[in-house]
């Protein structure tokens, strides 16, 4: 290409490129489309002739060293319906003008590594690949509805406001990644509603200044272990991995940024789908993590891994995966919103060290199902999940349910004990329910008292001191044997021998056990009061 003439564009520009040059100076749209939808679809099979082709080097010249605008206008590139031939290489450059490229085809990859933009909008474009490591924008980066054949790289990119990739489709690169954005920082929102990926989405260490939305997204990675790999991701507000409501009428192509909406009851919607593992380990989320309506298709050995995440609210209200595991070990949340049908079964759930302070179940989640949830997470007995659940229920005023959880803990522990200890556990369960139902212990004491009174009413033992003893009373004697510490003046005054001595010893022993149980139960009630 010849150098730019003093009073005009390069001499070797085609007519189409010359038109693009003039619209750049005027700040108007260079529209090379035919106004026929099938012919203008950049993802279709229709051939585009030379009347729609511009060279990538001319586009680069405009963006990096373009001409002065027409007086009274702001120079910018607004290109529609063009086929851009060659590789567009802006690496390391600074692009001052506003850039908006819509419904265009790129023959070669777009190279934006370490490039600085104001705002860059690529809408509904077909691109072989986008290399944009350490890209810096002062404003937005929009890639709505684009289809990228060999993935995009945004490693350590700095986006000044919003990143929008809604409705885009990303295939994998030669390393199996559809989106490689490790260390990326977005000052405001990431909008990726209904995005489709075929390869790993890598967001390790990425930071989002507001919310991150993947509502209705479909993440698929049949080639590797994970579809979404985002450990240490930080989102200052909410991460949405949820369903999205579908519009009842066709969206306006001129407004490609507002198509997503909240699902309505009974209305059409598209679920968030993740076919492959999902990893958010050590993530920090300022408001919540929302899995409403999410669907997971995992293979054996794959996980929905949420280890050590921290968020005020965790909404796990999707569909339970049929295979694979869900891991929330070490996670810390304030409010857990879940459904009984959202969690996988035994051996496929791990929540060791999972801390939550409030439960807000969606739908019917009875205590029996909640206990199944804890049991599913502990194939080997562990007391901590039971104690955590009991503490949360007790703090919420559900004392009876909290006791049931602790009883379930003892019963679960009993199965791990040797035979003798297990037999003692069964006895405690049958008699006093491990001390969590002191009323039953009091009832047993009453039964034993009646039995003892009946037993000793037919036998009047000899007094130890013939001239110094109280009047014999079988009921008081039996009660004096049963009640420890308290002295009713009967025990120790009579000579009990033989089998009667064994009966008296049995009443004393059982009295100590039952009285201790009643005292412990009453103490718990007083502490809660």
Residue 179 CB-density burial (10 A; 0-12 exposed, 13-18 middle, 19+ buried): buried
**Residue the block writes with tokens 């120790």:** 492
Q: Which helix (H) or strand (E) holds 414?
A: helix 399-414
Pick from 184, 151, 145, 149: nearest CA to 168: 145
Pick from 328, 327, 266: nearest CA to 301: 327
Q: Token pair of 6, please?
A: 């003093």
Q: Token pair of 119, please?
A: 């705002």
Pick from 269, 232, 226: nearest CA to 247: 269
Measure Cα distances from 220 to 178, 197, 321, 438 in Å.
10, 6, 15, 55
Q: How far apart, in whole angstroms, are the C-alpha atoms of residue 288 and residue 187? A: 18
The size of the chain, in residues, is: 529
Residues 85-135: pLDDT tens digits?
Answer: 999 999 999 999 999 999 999 999 999 999 999 999 999 999 999 999 999
In the chain, what is the greatest distance between 2 CA atoms, to the nearest angstrom? Answer: 138
Q: How far apart, in whole angstroms, are the C-alpha atoms of residue 342 and residue 320? A: 4
- List per-residue pLDDT tens for the chain, 529 residues long: 544 444 478 888 999 999 999 999 999 999 999 999 999 999 999 999 999 999 999 999 999 999 999 999 999 999 999 999 999 999 999 999 999 999 999 999 999 999 999 999 999 999 999 999 999 999 999 999 999 999 999 999 999 999 999 999 999 999 999 999 999 999 999 999 999 999 999 999 999 999 999 999 999 999 899 999 999 999 999 999 999 987 655 555 555 555 555 555 556 789 999 999 999 999 999 999 999 999 999 999 999 999 999 999 999 999 999 999 999 999 999 999 999 999 999 989 999 999 999 999 998 999 999 999 999 988 888 889 999 999 999 998 898 899 899 888 988 888 888 988 888 777 777 767 776 766 667 777 787 778 777 777 767 676 667 667 676 677 777 777 777 767 665 666 666 766 667 777 777 777 777 776 666 555 655 454 4
Residues 141-159: pLDDT tens digits?
Answer: 999 999 999 999 999 999 9
In sequence order, which residues have a C-beta less than 8 Å from that of residue 229 and are 6 or more positions away?
Answer: 200, 201, 202, 203, 204, 277, 279
Q: Token pair of 33, please?
A: 């489309």
Q: What angle do CA 275, 276, 282 make, to 5 degrees?
A: 125
Residue 7 CB-density burial (10 A; 0-12 exposed, 13-18 middle, 19+ buried): exposed
- What residues does 121 pair with on adjacent strands? 100, 142
Strand 94-95, strand 53-55: pairing? unpaired
Q: How far apart, in whole angstroms, are the C-alpha atoms of residue 126 and residue 142? A: 14
Residues 208-242: pLDDT tens digits?
Answer: 999 999 999 999 999 899 999 999 999 999 999 99
Q: Token pair of 189, please?
A: 């929102």
The helices-and-strands tally (H runs, E runs) of the chain is 10, 46
Give 3-state DSSP helix, strand, coil % of the chain, rounded to 5.
25, 25, 50
Judge contact between 281 and 308, C-beta under 8 A: yes
Q: How far apart, in whole angstroms, are the C-alpha atoms of residue 499 and residue 494? A: 14
In sequence order, which residues have a C-beta less than 8 Å from that of residue 368 and are 6 or more positions away?
Answer: none
Q: Which helix (H) or strand (E) holds 270?
A: strand 269-270
Domains with residue ranges and CATH for the chain: 15-245+268-395 (no CATH), 439-527 (1.10.287)
Q: How far apart, in whole angstroms, are the C-alpha atoms of residue 84 and residue 88? A: 8
Q: Which helix (H) or strand (E) holds 158?
A: strand 158-159
Judge contact between 237 and 287, C-beta under 8 A: yes
């Amino acid at each position: 290409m010849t150098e730019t003439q003093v009073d005009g564009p390069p001499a070797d520009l085609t007519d189409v490129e010359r038109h693009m040059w003039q619209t750049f100076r005027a700040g108007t749209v260079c529209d090379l489309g035919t106004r026929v939808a099938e012919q203008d679809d950049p993802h279709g099979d229709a051939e585009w002739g030379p009347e729609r082709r511009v060279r990538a080097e001319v586009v680069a010249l405009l963006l990096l060293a373009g001409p002065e605008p027409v007086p009274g206008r702001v120079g910018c590139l607004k290109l529609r319906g063009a086929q851009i031939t060659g590789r567009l290489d802006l690496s390391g450059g600074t692009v001052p003008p506003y850039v908006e490229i819509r419904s265009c085809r790129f023959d070669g990859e777009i190279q934006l590594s370490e490039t600085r933009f104001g705002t860059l909008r690529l809408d509904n474009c077909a691109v072989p690949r986008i290399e944009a490591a350490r890209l810096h924008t002062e404003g937005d980066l929009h890639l709505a509805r684009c289809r990228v054949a060999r993935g995009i790289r945004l490693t350590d990119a700095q986006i000044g406001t919003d990143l929008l990739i809604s409705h885009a489709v990303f295939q994998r690169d030669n390393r199996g990644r559809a989106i490689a954005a490790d260390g990326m920082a977005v000052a405001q929102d990431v909008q990726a509603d209904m995005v489709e990926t075929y390869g790993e989405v890598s967001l390790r260490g990425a930071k989002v200044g507001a919310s991150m939305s993947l509502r209705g997204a479909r993440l698929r990675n049949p080639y590797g272990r994970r579809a979404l790999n985002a450990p240490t991701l930080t989102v200052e507000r909410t991460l949405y991995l949820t369903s999205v409501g579908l519009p009842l009428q066709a969206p306006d192509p001129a407004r490609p940024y507002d198509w997503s909406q909240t699902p309505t009851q009974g209305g059409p919607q598209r679920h968030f789908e993740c076919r492959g593992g999902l990893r958010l380990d050590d993530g920090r989320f300022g408001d919540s993590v929302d899995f409403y309506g999410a669907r997971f298709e995992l293979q054996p050995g794959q996980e929905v891994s949420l280890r050590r995440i921290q968020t005020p609210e965790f909404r796990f209200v999707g569909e339970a995966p049929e295979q694979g595991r869900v891991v929330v070990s070490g996670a810390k949340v304030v409010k857990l919103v879940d459904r009984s049908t959202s969690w996988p079964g035994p051996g496929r759930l791990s929540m060791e060290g999972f801390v939550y302070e409030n439960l807000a179940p969606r739908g019917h989640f009875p205590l029996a199902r909640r206990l199944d949830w804890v049991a599913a997470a502990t194939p080997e007995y562990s007391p901590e999940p039971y104690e955590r659940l009991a503490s949360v229920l007790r703090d919420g005023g559900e004392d009876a349910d909290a006791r049931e959880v602790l009883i379930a803990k003892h019963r679960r522990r009993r199965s791990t004990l040797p035979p003798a200890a297990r037999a003692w556990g069964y006895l405690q369960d049958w008699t006093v329910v491990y001390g969590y139902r002191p009323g039953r212990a009091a009832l047993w004491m009453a039964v034993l008292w009646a039995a003892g009174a009946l037993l000793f009413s037919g036998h009047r033992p000899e007094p130890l001191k013939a001239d110094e003893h109280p009047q014999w009373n079988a009921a008081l004697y039996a009660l004096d044997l049963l009640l420890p510490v308290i002295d009713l003046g009967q025990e120790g005054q009579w000579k009990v021998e033989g089998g009667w001595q064994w009966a008296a010893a049995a009443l004393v022993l059982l009295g100590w056990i039952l009285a201790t149980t009643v005292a412990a139960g009453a103490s718990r009630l007083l502490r809660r009061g």
